[in-house]
Each structure stands twice: as structure tokens, then as C-alpha cells.
Amino acid sequence: MTTARDKPMTTMTKHLVRWILTLACLLAASPVASAHPHVWVTMQGELVYAPDGSITGIRFAWTFDDMFSAFATQGIETKKPGQFTRVDLDPLAKENVSSLKEFDYFTYAKVAGKKVDLKDPTDYYLDYNAKDTVLTLHFTLPFKTPVKAKELNIEIYDPEYFVDFSFKDMKDPITMVGAPAACKLTVARPKDLSVAPGQQLSEAFFNQLSASDNWGAQFANKIAVKCP
């Protein structure tokens, strides 16, 4: 069966833009659509622990680039121009987390090589930084079953590299909340894209990709937790 994640990039591009701003046509006509990636997300977050030492989920904050944030907020009525409250942004936040489900929230967790299933996000909301003119999506991504294992590995990336994810440039972009003292966390940032001499990664190249190609995995942001 063909799923939305297996559709050509042209269709995926339009659909992915809709889950943020329902302005696919506008984005497709803009200069930003001439090369990959199209959207940039800067992340920070927390691994949330239960009292028994199990990990219950991830609390994320995803900040979108200023151009994408400008598209996303077009047409939203506010009391003060250029200032968006959480109430103003609530419908957009709801649309975001609902549509992210189809893309597995771009978050892939494994224990002993086996996939950790995720539940629908909770505690989600959008806020707007008027100074930097950017949107940040806050949400908690619960694990379907709390994880109590010696090792947990998480990767965040877009298989089609439409969205570029990166950890926030800070000492500890990911932290642990309530973790046993002996547990250790490491974070690995992806390497920069390198292209062989004479090779060109055109828009046509990306349009031929599907999620099943998993090309964007080479840009995965990695989190590893080890406990005794």
C-alpha cells in the first residue's frame, strides 16, 4: 500500500507545508523553494523521567526560521500587529501536532534495535518571539510504554531533508529531568553535507526521493542515554 510518506517529493512538499501554514502555493512560488532544505528548525529539549527511573517521553521546543515563521503567521488576526499570543496561535499549534503524526514527529527512538512507539503530543502550544520574528512549537512527545532500559537511542531528522533539524547552539541542548544519577546522556550533531566533485544535488534529485529512501538519515541529530 502506498502511503503519504511514499509519495513523490512534489506532493510531500505541498503536504508538509500545509501542516504548518496552509500556504503551500505561496511557498512553492517563493525563492526559498529553489533548493533543499526549505525549512530550518532549531531544537532543544528534555528527556522526562518517572519516579521509577523510566523515561516517559521527550519535551521539545522547535524554533522555526524567520522566513517560514512569517509565512505561518500571515493572515492571523491579532490585537497588536506583529504580536501573536498563544491564544492567537492555538489553531495553528493544533494543526501542527495533528499533522506531525503522519511523519512520526520526525523522531525515531529505539531500544535494543527495536522501535519505541510514540503517543500523540501533549502540552503543546506555539509562542512567537517578536524580536527575532520566529515561532517556537512546544510539545511533549510521550512514549507509548515508558522505557526502562540500559540504553535508549533517539534520532531526529526528516527522511526527505525537506526540513533541516539542528540542536540549538548551546552547551546542553538536550537535558534529563528526574533521571537516576548514574545515567549518562550524549548528543551528536550531524556532519555537514559533502558532495563529491562533479556531483550536483539539484531540486530534481530531491524530487525523486521518497521517505522510504531515508536519505535524510545522514543528517540525524542523535541522543543516546546509557544507564547501569
Label the pairing between strands 221-226 and 39-49. unpaired
Among 176, 178, 180, 174, which residue's Cα sits nearest to residue 223?
174
Query: From first to last of its 228 residues, what are the pLDDT tens digits of the chain?
Result: 434 444 333 333 334 444 443 333 333 344 444 446 788 999 999 999 999 999 999 999 999 999 989 988 888 888 888 889 999 999 999 988 888 888 899 999 999 899 999 999 999 999 999 999 999 999 999 999 999 989 999 999 998 888 899 999 999 999 999 999 999 999 999 877 655 444 555 555 556 655 666 777 888 999 999 998
pLDDT in tens, 137-146: 999 999 999 9
Label the pairing between strands 163-167 and 39-49. parallel
Domain boundaries, the chain: 4-226
Considering Cα of 196, then 189, then 57, then 19, what sign does the dihedral take?
A: negative
HEC string of the chain equals CCCHHHCCHHHHHHHHHHCCCCCHHHHHCCHHHHCCCCEEEEEEEEEEECCCCCEEEEEEEEEECHHHHHHHHCCCCCCECCECCHHHHHHHHHHHHHHHHHHHHHEEEEECCEECCECCCEEEEEEEECCCCEEEEEEEEEEEEEECCCEEEEEECCCCCCEEEEECCCCCCEEEECCCCCCEEEEECCCCCCCCCCCCCCHHHHHCCCHHHCHHHHHCEEEEEECC
